[in-house]
C-alpha cells in the first residue's frame, strides 16, 4: 500500500513541476485580466485544467453569459470524457464509486497519461499519491504567478513554457518507438493537429474542439488498422 502511494508521488513530481510553470503563467494573466490573487487561486484549485482556465479569462473580462461560459468549457474540456472513458476499465476493485468521484476531479491530461501508461490495473493508493503533488503544484504556481509573476525575468518564464510538452513527449515517444500501432496513431494525431492549425478556414475552429476531432480520428484509424488483442491490454 505505502509503496504504491510513494510510487504515485514519485510519478506526480514531474507533473507538478510542469504545472508550476503553466499555472504560474495563468496566475499572471488572471491578475492582468482583473481577478484578485485569491480568485485566480480559487479557479485553479477547483478547475485544474489549463486550456479551459485560460479560455475562461477573456470571457469573464468581457462579462460573457454563463451559458457561453458553460459551452466553451464543454468544448475545450470534452477530451476529458474520452480520457475518463479510456481509464475507467483500467481501474481496479479498490476504485469504488466514492473513489471514482474523488479521482474524477484530478483526471487531467498528464495524470491520465501517466496513469494509463502503468502496466495492468491501477488502484486508489497509487492514484491518490499521483494526484496530490500536481494539485499542490497547480494551486501554488497560480498563487506565485498571480502575486509575483512580473518579478521573474522573461527568459525564465518562456523557458518554463516548454516543460509540459517535454513531459508529453516523454510519455508518447517510448511506446511509439516500440509499437508500430502507437507510432501510426501518434503521427496521425500530430499531422491532423498541424493541419488544423495551418489550413486556412479550418484553423478558425477552437483549439479544444480541434483536439477532439484529431484525437477521435487518429484513435479510430489506429483501432481500424491495429485492433488490440485481449493480451495486449496489460
C-alpha 123/C-alpha 1 separation (Å) is: 10
Cα distances from 83 to residues 23, 33, 79, 162, 216, in angstroms, run 22, 31, 6, 23, 11
Q: Min. distance of Cβ 101 from other proteins in angstroms?
A: 6
Q: Min. distance of Cβ 4 from other proteins in angstroms?
A: 18
Nearer to other proteins by Cβ, of 46 and 148: the residue is: 46
Nearer to other proteins by Cβ, of 148 and 233: the residue is: 233
* Angle at the Cα of 46 from the Cα atoms of 42 and 48, rounded to 5 degrees: 110
Q: Min. distance of Cβ 3 from other proteins in angstroms?
A: 18
Nearer to other proteins by Cβ, of 125 and 182: the residue is: 182
How many Cβ atoms from other residues are within 10 Å of residue 193's Cβ?
17
Nearer to other proteins by Cβ, of 132 and 163: the residue is: 163
Nearer to other proteins by Cβ, of 148 and 169: the residue is: 169
Q: Min. distance of Cβ 80 from other proteins in angstroms?
A: 5
Nearer to other proteins by Cβ, of 125 and 171: the residue is: 171
Residue 170 CA, distance from chain mean position: 14
Q: Min. distance of Cβ 88 from other proteins in angstroms?
A: 5
C-alpha 116/C-alpha 209 separation (Å) is: 23
Cα end-to-end distance, the chain, whole Å: 20
Q: Min. distance of Cβ 8 from other proteins in angstroms?
A: 13
**Which uninterrupted H or E stretch holds 27?**
helix 2-32
> Residues, the chain, total?
234
C-alpha 48/C-alpha 52 separation (Å) is: 9
Amino acid at each position: 500500500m505505502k509503496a504504491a502511494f510513494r510510487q504515485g508521488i514519485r510519478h506526480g513530481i514531474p507533473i507538478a513541476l510542469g504545472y508550476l510553470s503553466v499555472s504560474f503563467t495563468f496566475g499572471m494573466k488572471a491578475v492582468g485580466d482583473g481577478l484578485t490573487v485569491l480568485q485566480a487561486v480559487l479557479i485553479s484549485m477547483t478547475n485544474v485544467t489549463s486550456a479551459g482556465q485560460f479560455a475562461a479569462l477573456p470571457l469573464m473580462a468581457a462579462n460573457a453569459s454563463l451559458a457561453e461560459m458553460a459551452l466553451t468549457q464543454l468544448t475545450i474540456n470534452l477530451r476529458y470524457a474520452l480520457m475518463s472513458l479510456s481509464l475507467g476499465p483500467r481501474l481496479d476493485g479498490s476504485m469504488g464509486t466514492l473513489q471514482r468521484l474523488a479521482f474524477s476531479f484530478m483526471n487531467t491530461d498528464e495524470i491520465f497519461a501517466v496513469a494509463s501508461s502503468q502496466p495492468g490495473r491501477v488502484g486508489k493508493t497509487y492514484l491518490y499519491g499521483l494526484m496530490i503533488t500536481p494539485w499542490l503544484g497547480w494551486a501554488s504556481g497560480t498563487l506565485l504567478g498571480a502575486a509575483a509573476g512580473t518579478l521573474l525575468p522573461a527568459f525564465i518564464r518562456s523557458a518554463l513554457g516548454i516543460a509540459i510538452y517535454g513531459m508529453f513527449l516523454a510519455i508518447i515517444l517510448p511506446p511509439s518507438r516500440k509499437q508500430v500501432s502507437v507510432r501510426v496513431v501518434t503521427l496521425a494525431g500530430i499531422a491532423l493537429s498541424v493541419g488544423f492549425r495551418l489550413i486556412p478556414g479550418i484553423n478558425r475552429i477552437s483549439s479544444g474542439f480541434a483536439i477532439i476531432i484529431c484525437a477521435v480520428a487518429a484513435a479510430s484509424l489506429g483501432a481500424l488498422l491495429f485492433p488490440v488483442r485481449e493480451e495486449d491490454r496489460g
